[in-house]
Amino acid sequence: MPLAITRSVGPRFNECEITHIERTPIDLDIAQKQHRGYVDALKKLGCDVLELPAESNLPDSVFVEDTAILLPEAAVITRPGADSRKPETESIAQALSAHRKLLYLREPATLDGGDVLVVGKRIFIGLSTRSNNEAVVQLSELLNEFGYTVTGVHLHDCLHLKSAVTRVDDKTLLINRDWVDTEFFADYELIAVDPSEPYAANCLPIGDAVIFPASFPKTRGNLEARGYKIVSVEVDELAKAEGAVTCCSLVLDR
């Protein structure tokens, strides 16, 4: 049974970092309600959920994905690119220490977990405003013994690599071709987002289902037409903080 680690939306969520979208007011009550719905979806799909308490002084800390990379062999604790987010890793490392060997990135590497796409033994790192090439170098060194290859990928017009492309399964990726060069993913079947839904490339596979935002019905139809079971969640208020469905959990296979 998978273990999903989540963290509640904090009281200062409106002070979150914003990079690629215009800041708009976030309704904290709605954001918290949507996050509870997301956690409920994880539970319904068979996850044990470790719900960490809100971090009152860390506005972005609900987005736990950015703090770690989870692999069967180890967990890599990241160094988030925004200085305001670097303290988020401490409590996540503590929570993960009971489940995985911990490895750490060190200065000058910066890396948000949202820039990390793991597909089998291949790891793609988005070279974004938050993640740099030194992270690619260090990850290659840390994970070489486990047989992983690590590749840096250029992207544009979006915050993270997983804003542009995510794993549906080990052979299939969901992608916005306008935000990332598809040549890096030539070995996979690519499902394109609907052109009217550029932010729809972020999905979260859990078991035989895929958690997907309710805001993107056309892309959902593309996935369902290919036989994928979709579990819709409302996350549009979380998206005002540049969040998406992968951002709000760290999922460990046990």
The residues annotated with a catalytic role in the active site are 160, 247
List phi, psi (to 5°) of 136: -60, -45
The 10 Å CB-count burial string (b at 16+, else e) for 29-38 is eebbebbeeb
